[in-house]
C-alpha cells in the first residue's frame, strides 16, 4: 500500500509566539541527479516548534531533501520557504543549525578551536561564544576532550562535535542528518533530552533517523520512499492508519520499505 499524503501543519504546541508562517514549507519540490529523479513533487509543512522526523530506507532521498531545506543544494522545481523566507537566503544562515550526515570538521584543530571557528562565522561575540561553547560541549559530553585534536577523535566523538556546532548559535531551526549514528545509548538518551528541552523552548527540529524509538519521540514523522513522501503524521496517527502496534510495523506497512 502506497499512499501520497500531503501533510498539514502540526499544532506546534504554541511554543513560538510569532508562528505566522510554518518553519518549513515545501511545495512540489523536485530534484534529480544525472537525469534520475530522486525527489518527486514533495509537499511538506512543518510547524514552528515541531520535532519532525524523516524516515526512509537508505537511498530514499532523506539527505537530498534535508540539503535542499538547509539551502545547501537547489531544487529543480517547486518552492522552499524556511522561517518565512525563500531559500536560499543569507539571512537564514544565522537562524539555522545544520548537521550533515558526514562530518565536516578541521582535523588538525581541537574541538574547542573548531567551535571557535564556527562561532566566529556566526559572529557570536566573545562572552556569548565562551558561554555557548561550554554549554554545547557539555550537551554532547565532550567537555573533557575539548583540547584534543579532532583527528584523534572516534567516529562518535566527531558526530557529537558536529552536533555541538549545529547547536552553538542557538538557531531557531535545527536540521540534523542522522545525529545519533555511532553514539552510545547512554549519551543518546542525554542528547535526546537536550533536543526535547530545545523543542520545549520553541526550537523547530527536523532530523533523519533509522532508529525507531527515536522516530516514536517525534511530534510527527514523514515516511519517504524512492523520493516520495508516502505518509506524514504523528506516530500514533501512523500506527492507527496502518493498524500497526509499533512504528516499525507502520513504517513497513505504509511503504517505507522497498518490496
Ligand atoms: N550529488 C549526487 N550526485 C548523484 N547522485 C546523488 C547525489 N546525492 C545523492 N544522490 C543519489 O540520490 C539518492 C538519494 O540519496 P540520499 O543521500 O538522499 O539518500 P538517504 O535517504 O539520505 O540515504 P541514507 O539513509 O543512506 O543516508 C541515492 O540514489 C544517491 O545515490
Ligand atoms: Mg542520508
Confidence of residue 256 (pLDDT cuts 50, 70, 90): low
Helix, coil or strand: residue 220: strand
pLDDT at residue 7 tops 50: no
Antiparallel, parallel or unpaired: β 51-55 and 204-208: parallel
33 lines ligand 1 (CB under 6 A): yes
Confidence of residue 124 (pLDDT cuts 50, 70, 90): very high
Cβ atoms of 221 and 234 closer than 8 Å = yes
Compute the distance from residue 176 Cα to the ligand 2 centre, in Å.
Answer: 10
pLDDT at residue 125 tops 50: yes
pLDDT at residue 5 tops 70: no
Confidence of residue 240 (pLDDT cuts 50, 70, 90): very high
Task: Give tens-digit pLDDT for 140-186.
Answer: 999 999 999 999 999 999 999 999 999 999 999 999 999 999 899 99
User: CA 87: distance to chain centroid?
Assistant: 16
The enclosing H or E element of 177 equals strand 173-177
Q: Which of ligand 1's atoms lies nearest the C-alpha of 64?
A: 18
> To test the ligand 1 pocket, which listed residue (34, 36, 39, 60) has its Cβ within 8 A of the most ligand atoms?
60
Candidates 61, 56, 66; CA nearest to 33 is 61
Cβ atoms of 162 and 105 closer than 8 Å = yes
Q: Which of ligand 1's atoms lies nearest the C-alpha of 65?
A: 18
Position with higher pLDDT, 17 vs 21? 21
220 lines ligand 1 (CB under 6 A): no
61 lines ligand 1 (CB under 6 A): yes
Confidence of residue 232 (pLDDT cuts 50, 70, 90): very high
pLDDT of 19: 52
Cβ atoms of 247 and 230 closer than 8 Å = no
Confidence of residue 12 (pLDDT cuts 50, 70, 90): very low
Gap between the Cα atoms of 80 and 87, Å rounded: 6
- The torsion defined by the Cα of 137, 177, 122 and 149, in degrees rounded to 10, comes to 50
Q: What is the DSSP letter of 58?
A: T
Cβ atoms of 234 and 228 closer than 8 Å = no
Compute the distance from residue 33 Cα to the ligand 1 centre, in Å.
Answer: 9
Compute the distance from residue 198 Cα to the ligand 1 centre, in Å.
Answer: 29
Compute the distance from residue 178 Cα to the ligand 2 centre, in Å.
Answer: 7
What domains appear along the chain, each with residue ranges and CATH number? 24-256 (3.40.50.300)
> To test the ligand 1 pocket, which listed residue (29, 36, 64) has its Cβ within 8 A of the most ligand atoms?
64
Position with higher pLDDT, 9 vs 207? 207
Grid-cell match 523566507, residue found? 85
Cβ atoms of 61 and 38 closer than 8 Å = yes
Q: Is the pTM of this model over 0.85?
A: yes
Gap between the Cα atoms of 223 and 62, Å rounded: 9
Compute the distance from residue 94 Cα to the ligand 1 centre, in Å.
Answer: 26
Beta-carbon contacts of residue 200 (< 8 Å; ≥ 6 apart): 15
Position with higher pLDDT, 4 vs 175? 175
Compute the distance from residue 180 Cα to the ligand 2 centre, in Å.
Answer: 13
Position with higher pLDDT, 4 vs 93? 93
74 lines ligand 1 (CB under 6 A): no
Task: Give tens-digit pLDDT for 29-80.
Answer: 999 999 999 999 999 999 999 999 999 999 999 999 999 999 999 999 999 9
Which grid cell is 83?
A: 522561517
pLDDT of 254: 84
Gap between the Cα atoms of 77 and 32, Å rounded: 10
The DSSP bridge partners found for residue 204 are 173
pLDDT at residue 16 tops 70: no
Gap between the Cα atoms of 248 and 209, Å rounded: 12
| DSSP state string for 106-169 | -TTSBHHHHHHHHHHHTT--HHHHHHHHHHHHHHTT-GGGTTSBGGG--HHHHHHHHHHHHHTT
Residue nearest to ligand 1 atom 9, measured at CA: 64
Amino acid at each position: 500500500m502506497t499512499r501520497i499524503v500531503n501533510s498539514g501543519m502540526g499544532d506546534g504546541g504554541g511554543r513560538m509566539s510569532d508562528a505566522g508562517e510554518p518553519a518549513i514549507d515545501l511545495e512540489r519540490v523536485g530534484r534529480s541527479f544525472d537525469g534520475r529523479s530522486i525527489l518527486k513533487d514533495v509537499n511538506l509543512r512543518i510547524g514552528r516548534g515541531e520535532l519532525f522526523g524523516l524516515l526512509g530506507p537508505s537511498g530514499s532521498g532523506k539527505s537530498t531533501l534535508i540539503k535542499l531545506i538547509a539551502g545547501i543544494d537547489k531544487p529543480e522545481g517547486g518552492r522552499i520557504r524556511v522561517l518565512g523566507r525563500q531559500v536560499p537566503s543569507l539571512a537564514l544562515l544565522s537562524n539555522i543549525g545544520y548537521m550533515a550526515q558526514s562530518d565536516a570538521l578541521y582535523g588538525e584543530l581541537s574541538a574547542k578551536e573548531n567551535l571557535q571557528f564556527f562561532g566566529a562565522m556566526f559572529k557570536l561575540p566573545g562572552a556569548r561564544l565562551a558561554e555557548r561553547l561550554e554549554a554545547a560541549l557539555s550537551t554532547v559530553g565532550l567537555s573533557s576532550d575539548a583540547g584534543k585534536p579532532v583527528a584523534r577523535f572516534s567516529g562518535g566523538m566527531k558526530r557529537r562535535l558536529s552536533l555541538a556546532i549545529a547547536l552553538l548559535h542557538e538557531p531557531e531551526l535545527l536540521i540534523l542528518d542522522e545525529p545519533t549514528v555511532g553514539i552510545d545509548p547512554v549519551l543518546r538518551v542525554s542528547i535526546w533530552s537536550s533536543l526535547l528541552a530545545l523543542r520545549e523552548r520553541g526550537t523547530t527540529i527536523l532530523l533523519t533517523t533509522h532508529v525507531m524509538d527515536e522516530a516514536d519521540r517525534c511530534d510527527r514523522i514523514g515516511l519517504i520512499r524512492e523520493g516520495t513522501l508516502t505518509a506524514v503524521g504523528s506516530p500514533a496517527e501512523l500506527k492507527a492508519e496502518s493498524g500497526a502496534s509499533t512504528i516499525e510495523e507502520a513504517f513497513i506497512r505504509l511503504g517505507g520499505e522497498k518490496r
